[in-house]
Structure 1
Amino acid sequence: MLAARHPDRTAVISVRPDGAETCLTWSELERRSNAAARALAAAGVGEDGVVVVSLPNGIPHIVWTTAAWKTGALVVPVNPAPPEREHADLLARVPGAPVVGGPAVPPDPPAAAADGAPFPSAGVPRSAALTGGSTGTSRIVLRRHPWTYDPEAPSPAGYTLAGMRIGQVQLVSLPMYHGGFLETHNGLAMEHTVVVMERFSPTLFLRLVERHRVGFMVLVPTLMRAAASVPGVESFDLGSVEALYHGSGGCHESDKRRWLGLLSPERVYEDYGSVEDIGFLAIRGDEWLKHPGSAGRPSGDVRVRRLDDGGADAPAGVVGNVYIRSSRSTRPRYLGGGPPLAERDGFLTVGDLGYLDDGGYLYLVDRRADMINVGGINVYPAEAEGVLAELPGVADVAVVGRPHDVLGAAVHALVVPAAGGRPRTADLDAHCRGRLVRTKVPVSYTFVDRLPRDAVGKLRRRDL
């Protein structure tokens, strides 16, 4: 329908790392996806089938996904370059599904028929998403909502986000096998011109915001930090941005405040949710300044509880297991199976730890699986990581536990030095001792060239 409404309008702009751009109009997207849908149908894909899209960011990813939906298939976007064992494990959970980007289905969509004849769409288009897998094997979660839209609705993407409106220019810098998938296709449903970075580069990112007058974008903390560290970042015109959303892990306070200054607090939003879609919280920058570090306060039908290990409610200010209940809080369904989420009285948890203040604002501290037990005292890596990240000589940091003969475990920091030079261990130690209690201060440091983060910026702690 959108192709018929404005056939010659640009739908997608794909940007290579060197800045070269390829544009795709709505009519071209329609024709190319029709041709690709016929190729999938010829390969036996039909209603209720599954198609694995294993492609990097770019136009082919969008064309094949749209084509699969026209056949009525469920789309599973996956990392095109994962470790071999992970890739084999994922494919074993969708046996027989064609893999676009694999040997059976080459990445380049077939040429569109000259007449552009429409493909007779069937079924209900659906997708699945992979959990982060930062501490274990990723699970394939079936998305509850189909990719169908009411063109008369004010928010045809199926949900309302402050600062997201019909007809914007959206910049997609996250990988399309993760967060970039949701934003790309919801953006297209809202008639956005979607500018897709084939690979993130902080300077190019800023240039694209300026060049295309980007109005909406989603980032993760690692990319926020990289972009804000570009020399002369203040000279880029970011005035077109109506909303920047960030999530996928805590944002260090110094990085958050940097972006609040670059854009203004009213245009920066932090959200908290999960692939399992059990509930959603968000907080705008000006509200965050009144509650620094908060992920927001439950609103609407969302409720949050913190429960101790015995299942009792933790009082305000006391860390507990974060449980959420809302109209979305139904147990997720997994392709290929997966362990159920823990549940209490209809409240579900994905394993996060946090506390609520007296005003009901949620503060996340870490994942339970990441917690370090130092002589019986719980230490949350995110706290020490945030303190170390304040230093200008630290480009990235991860805090882990290492064996200790007396305490059982001790805090150890892995530090990636900034380009300006490696900080002294004594300076790192002094900085931590001035801000952390003794048990949380790292007892040792290792300098490394990089940390094992995925393309979304999540730390793969199992690889440390």
Structure 2
Amino acid sequence: MQTTETRRLRSLARTAPARPLLSVEDRAGEWVVHTAGELYEKVIATADFLRAVGLGPGRYTVIALPNGEGLVRALLASWAVGCTPMVLPQQATAFERQVLSADLGEAFTGAFSLGERELAAALGSDAVRSAPRPAPPGPEPETAWYLPTGGTTGLPGLSSVTPGPSAVLSGVRQLMRAAGWSPGAVQLSTGPLSHAAPLMMCMAGIGGGAHVVMPRRLDPGSLKSAVRRYSPTWCHLTPHQMALIDANQALWDDLCASLCGVLHMSAPCPEDVKRRWITRLSGERLYETYSCTQLVGATFCDGVEWLAHPGTVGRPLPSNEVLVADEVGRALPPGEVGEVFMRSEWTRGLGDSGPHRLRGHGDGYLGVGDCGYTDDAGYLYLTGRLDDVVLVGGANVNTREVESVLLAHPRVSEVVVVQRPEPLMGSVLHAVVVPDDPAHPPTVATLQKFCDGRISAYKIPVTADFVDALPRSHAGKVERFWRA
């Protein structure tokens, strides 16, 4: 038995072996094209290698590789022999690996490390042949992969995604189609594959027959090279990436000329950035989805819907449901803020506790600690996270509320608000600010005066740091930790 993704790849290799499936920019800035026929045979050779070293159903592989053919091949070969891959950031230190794998125990320590040396060995001698051959038999793993999560809001760990890869990627392709993707797309892949959204979109695109184009890094030079050479028609972006492209007119002009669809997710999108993208690209070509690494559910909307419901992250996709509940678990009506839970066809049957690092509500509803509300039409709006709430002198303060006020100041480009210990109050608020002009940042007093009258006095930051940039993860999310 072959996995669905392996069968898809073999079908492409047999019917269109010269079709480009993956183009990667190497360290020298040159582009390397991998066709369907080449990629399939390398995947099968790697699967044969894994079987030869004793791997099979129920085993795990650890993959810590840079974006590129090797990482894609390692994933597909792992699935082909029934293994579940654990995907780590390439640059993860020994300590970071220990933290990420702390909850997995023997599953991690007994996993097979599938790195560059092993991938090279798999292609040695006569391993790669000229004609597509059947994949080695083996059941598909029940868990698609383990990925890092939680690093921006708490202690990070590796979280599983269930069900298996075929079901997950089939659902992802449905979402991508709704956002303007098609099997003939030239798909720009800009994020690290050790993060959920870039990984899902990349693997779903390859299995669906798209040509995935992968720049070496997210900078104007690499992006311009990819855009001018391949004219991508579809891409997934984070709001941070959207802001970077938005600030580069030449890059934007090149990209806009060919794009038929853009899907963004992974973090809240600033309203001004969202509106400029809608104006330039049109609401019919810009889409947004809200989900999480563990795929408990998803919402979706296009730019036209967003303009009618500003600030929304969309309505639940088919077979998905959203529940907003208060602190004792009671469902809240539209307009009232509470904790957001979702359920989908994938999460039914997981039980109240759900997989790793999820909060259970009951009856299949699961959450990741986000807060928000729905409107009368069923559109969801996010207001922050449970762990964004800071106790200041006995009163709860949502740091996202304070950030939204500070962001309205004309001299503030970006900001994160955190708590700072204080002997009398217990905690006070501290702002980490990226000014629009680093040479002339606003003063703390100026920001405090701006907040006065807009939020209550106890919510106004007492101190501030002014920095050139906020720390971000490789997926573009702000790392919300700061020692004040």
User: TM-score scaled by structure 2?
Assistant: 0.84
- Distance in 1, Cα, partners of 2:220 & 2:459: 32
Which residue of structure 1 lines up, in the alignment, with residue 210 of structure 2? Answer: 192
Corresponding residue for residue 295 of structure 2 = 277
Separation (CA, whole Å) in 2 of partners of 1:429 and 1:17? 47
Q: 135, 146, 150: which is aligned to 2:164?
A: 146
8 Å CA contact 2:63, 2:114 repeated in 1: yes
Please state which structure has a larger fraction of its residues in helix: 2
Residues in 2 aligned to 1:172 and 1:449: alpha-carbon distance in whole angstroms: 27
1: distance between equivalents of 2:26 and 2:455? 43
* 2:7 corresponds to: none
Change (3 A) 1:256 1:307: same
* Separation in structure 2 between the aligned mates of residue 420 and residue 352 of structure 1, nearest angstrom: 32
Name 2:155's counterpart in structure 1: 137
CA contact (8 A) 2:384 2:398 kept: yes
Q: Is the 8 A contact 2:349 2:364 kept in 1?
A: no
In structure 2, do the counterparts of structure 1 residues 244 and 377 end up closer, same or farther at CA, with 3 Å as the change threshold? farther
Q: Between the two proteins, what is the percent identity of the paired residues?
A: 33
Question: Is 1:452 equivalent to 2:482 in the alignment?
Answer: no
Counterpart for residue 3 of structure 2:
none
Q: Which of the residues 84, 87, 92 maps onto 1:77?
A: 87
The answer to whether the Cα contact below 8 Å between 1:156 and 1:190 also exists between their aligned partners in 2 is no
**Which residues of 2 match residues 118-129 of structure 1 at below 5 A?**
118=133, 119-125=135-141, 127-129=144-146
Q: CA deviation at 1:202?
A: 4.2
State which drifts further: 130-139 or 419-428: 419-428
CA-CA distance at 1:331 after TM superposition: 6.5
Cα pair distance change 1:300/1:242, threshold 3 Å: same
Match for residue 4 of structure 1?
A: 14
One-letter amino acid of the counterpart of residue 54, structure 1: A
1:17/1:23 CA distance change after superposition, 3 Å: same
Measured in 1, the distance between the counterparts of 2:14 and 2:94 equals 42
Instruction: Find the counterpart in structure 2 of residue 110 from structure 1.
Output: 123
Kindly tell me the number of residue pairs found equivalent between the two proteins: 458
What is the aligned counterpart of 1:99 among 92, 113, 128? Answer: 113
**Pairing 1:423–2:456 present:** no
Q: How does 1:9-408 map to 2 (within 5 A)?
A: 9-16=19-26, 19-91=29-101, 93=104, 94-101=108-115, 105=118, 110-111=123-124, 113=127, 115-116=129-130, 118=133, 119-125=135-141, 127-130=144-147, 131-148=149-166, 157=173, 160-178=177-195, 179-202=197-220, 204-330=222-348, 338=356, 341-389=359-407, 394-408=412-426
Query: Alpha-carbon deviation of 1:171?
Result: 0.7
Partner of 1:442: 461
Distance 2:450 2:251 in 1: 27
Does the CA-based 8 Å contact 2:179-2:286 persist in structure 1?
Answer: no
Deviations 1:56-77 (A, max 9, x none): 1111111222222222211221
Cα deviations across residues 11-49 of structure 1 (Å, max 9, x unaligned)? Answer: 111124764211111111122222222322222212222
Task: State TM-score, norm by structure 1.
Answer: 0.88
Shift of 1:339: 5.2
CA distance in 2, matches of 1:108, 1:76: 20
Contact kept? 1:17, 1:200, Cα under 8 Å: no
Alignment correspondent of 1:461: 480
Distance 1:134 1:156 in 2: 24
Q: Distance in 1 between matches of 2:259 and 2:221?
A: 16
CA contact (8 A) 1:272 1:295 kept: yes
How far 1:430 moved relative to its partner?
A: 4.9
How has the CA–CA distance of structure 1 residues 173 and 97 changed in structure 2, closer, same or farther, with 3 Å as cutoff? same
- The change in CA–CA distance for 1:422 and 1:42 in structure 2 (over 3 A counts) is farther
